[in-house]
Amino acid sequence: MKNNVMLTVASLLSILLLTLHITDDIVRGISKAESSNIALLILAIFVYGTLVLPERRSGHVIMLLVGLFAAGMPVIHMRGAHYGEIAQSAGGFFFVWTLWALGGLGGLTFILSARGLWSLRRGLPSRNF
C-alpha cells in the first residue's frame, strides 16, 4: 500500500475516533454540551485536508495536526483524576479503547505525515516516501 493511501486512511480513522471520543466526553459530562461552530469548522478543515489535499504540503500539515490531536488525547485523559472511575463505569471499555486506538493511530498519522512533509521538502514525489 502506498504511503499516501496509508496516511489518508490513518487520518480518516483518527478523525472518526476523535469525533466518537469527543461525543463520549460530552455524553459523560467531561466536555460541555454546547453548540460550537469553531469545532465544526476545525472538523471540516481536517476532513478537507485529508480528502482534498493529501498530495499537497498544506494537506500534510493538516494531517500532522490530526495525528497530534489524536495522539495527545490519551495523554490528556489518562492524567485526569477521574480516569479510573470512568474506566470502571458503564461504557468505560469503549472510552478506554478509543483512547488506546487514538494514541496508536494518531502516532502513525503523525509519523506518516511528517515523513511526507520531509519528502516534499526534499523535492521527492510524495508517493515515493
CA distance 70 to 75: 10
How many CB atoms are located within 10 Å of the residue 121 CB? Answer: 9
Higher pLDDT, 129 or 72: 72
What is the pTM (predicted TM-score) of this model? 0.85
Q: How much is the mean pLDDT over the chain?
A: 88
Q: Which residue range is the domain that position 102 belongs to?
A: 3-128
The pLDDT of residue 47 is above 70: yes
Q: What is the pLDDT of residue 70?
A: 95
**Furthest CA-CA distance within the chain:** 51
125 pLDDT band, cuts 50/70/90, is: low
Q: How many domains does the chain have?
A: 1
Angle at 52 between CA 127 and CA 60, to 5 degrees: 50
Q: What is the pLDDT of residue 58?
A: 95
Q: What is the pLDDT of residue 120?
A: 85
Higher pLDDT, 112 or 124: 112
> Of all residues in the chain, what percent are helix, strand and coil, respectively (each to 5)?
80, 0, 20
Q: What is the pLDDT of residue 27?
A: 87
Q: What is the pLDDT of residue 72?
A: 94
User: What is the arithmetic mean of pLDDT over 45-73?
Assistant: 95
Higher pLDDT, 36 or 32: 32
129 pLDDT band, cuts 50/70/90, is: very low
